[in-house]
Amino acid sequence: MQSRTALVEDLMDRFPQVPREAVLKEDLLRGGIAFDESALSGNEDGDVKPKSYFIFSFDHRTLPELGAAALRRPPEEIVLTGGPYGLRRTVVSVRVNPASPYRVAADDDGVLGLYLDGVRIADVGLPPMPDYYRHTLANGKSVMEVAPTIQWGYLIYLTVFRVCQYFGAKEECQYCDINHNWRQHKAAGRPYTGVKPVEEVLEALEIIDRYDTARASTAYTLTGGAVTSHIGGKDEADFYGQYAKAIEERFPGRWIGKVVAQALPKADVQRFHDYGVRIYHPNYEVWDRRLFELYCPGKERYVGRDEWHRRILDSAEVFGPRNVIPNFVAGVEMAEPFGFTTVGEAIDSTVEGLRFFMSRGITPRFTTWCPEPTTPLGKANPQGAPLEYHVRLLQAYRATMEENGLTSPPGYGPAGPGRAVFSVSSFMDSLPAEETAEEAPEPAR
């Protein structure tokens, strides 16, 4: 059997136009990382920013199976540099897998490194505990619970609804563990607020605004589970929109406002815009029709794939095409037993979707699939998708952007290897560095 080192180096050699940093990052994201106890955080009392479990588990084991990593959390992210591959600064979201061939451990001098097949391949930096995490709300809740930051502090992630109303085997997306993640944290006795009150979110943001003196936080994302009926008498647009309205009134222009929600009718999307949201993420999850119907049964039942796509296009008339950025879950195209059986077929299907949107000025982005063990696709595919799929996707993604004259989307920080901070896929690491600083897009009128 080919070693993981040989696999990674073979793909680096075969696809030299894909940054080496991105090849390695995709492998870490799809397969996870093991942590020695020397590399774990001190939770909220330590000097390292701990993993917040901001929406999904993004782990290859359940909390009870993580051992020490469930008691002393791993870091939110790691940053890789140097080593035999000469890595430029690479920010990677932490996905814990005790069985991974990648391990973060300290050497004899106490210096952390990333080891692959027992060989040190990179220096590891940990995110420092931000000052705003050291303060609590008046009711004692932590800022990390209410308004955690990811992407090395760039993005405030506001999961204001911790569960999803697509519930059960006949409705839940087959790769998604949002509902299980809620259950496991509650079972472990961790604070994990189901619906975050607007006032708590504003109080947490006030703390971040006060203590983030370097202005590292540049954007916020409002998100959570789908709302198929109502929460507190509000439909999905008004439920998530109320937070944007309150934030923009209290902190006008402080952050780029983004919302991840279902593909809603144009009138609902207009309400998001009116509330002050600048970027809309109506995620389409997977392009292939058959796979969408199988993997997203609730979305197919309530909206349907064709209507979902029509609504994405309609939303571009409200926000402007550049500010509509739907996500897909890269890798589920190859999940057994229903997915494509060759990398070429999977890439062709995904590129068809990219061209559909990019030819209209809409730039999708993607999250690298983590096969979480409580999901149907995770149980059936514990190894995830082949690394070659992820590497070829990066190549195809950049080529399709260039074909359509598009540049990196707003709201994701800088692009380019050594510069990117987007941590849950390598698409920003794989795009060319842009000389001008990112600007917050003005809402379309």
3-state secondary structure of 123: strand
User: Which phi and psi (to 5°) does residue 288 adopt?
Assistant: -55, 135
Q: Is the pLDDT of residue 155 over 60?
A: yes
What are the b/e assignments for 232-254, b being 16+ CB within 10 Å? eeebbbbbbbbbbbbbbeebeeb
33, β-bridge pairs: 96
Q: Are 240 and 160 in contact (CB under 8 A)?
A: yes
Q: Residue 436: is its pLDDT beyond 70?
A: no
Give yes or no for residue 438 having a pLDDT over 60: no
Mean pLDDT over each residue of the chain, to the nearest integer: 95
Give the angle subtended at the CA of 232 by the CAs of 226 and 233, to the nearest 5°.
90
Strand partners, 124: 80
Residue 80 pairs in a beta bridge with: 90, 124
d(CA 365, CA 395): 14
pLDDT of residue 316 exceeding 50: yes
Task: Taking each helix axis as running N to C, give the angle between helix 305-319 and helix 266-275, from 0 to 180 degrees, rounded to the nearest 10.
Answer: 40
Q: What pLDDT is stored for residue 323 in this prediction?
A: 98
pLDDT at 235 > cutoff 70: yes
Q: Max CA-CA distance within the chain?
A: 61
Average pLDDT over residues 335-341: 97
Model pLDDT, residue 439: 52
- What is the rounded average pLDDT of the residues 187-205? 92
Length of the chain: 445
Q: List Cβ neighbours of 144 (8 Å cut-off, separation of 6 or more).
A: 44, 50, 52, 133
Q: Is 28:90 a contact under the CB 8 Å cutoff?
A: no
Q: How much of the chain, in percent, has pLDDT values that exceed 90? A: 89
Give the pairing of strands 119-125 and 77-82.
antiparallel
388/352 Cα distance (integer angstroms): 18
pLDDT band, residue 194 (cuts 50/70/90)? confident
> Which residue has tokens 């029509």?
310
Preceding omega of 337 cis (within 30 degrees of 0): yes
Q: Is 401 left (phi over 0), alpha (psi -120 to 50) or beta?
A: alpha
Q: Residue 433 in 3-state DSSP?
A: coil
Strands 77-82 and 87-93: antiparallel
Question: 279 and 410 in contact (C-beta within 8 Å)?
Answer: yes
Q: What is the pLDDT of residue 441?
A: 46
* pLDDT tens per residue, range 91-115: 999 999 999 999 999 999 999 999 9
Range name among 64-73, 133-142, 242-251, 325-334 with the lowest pLDDT average:
64-73
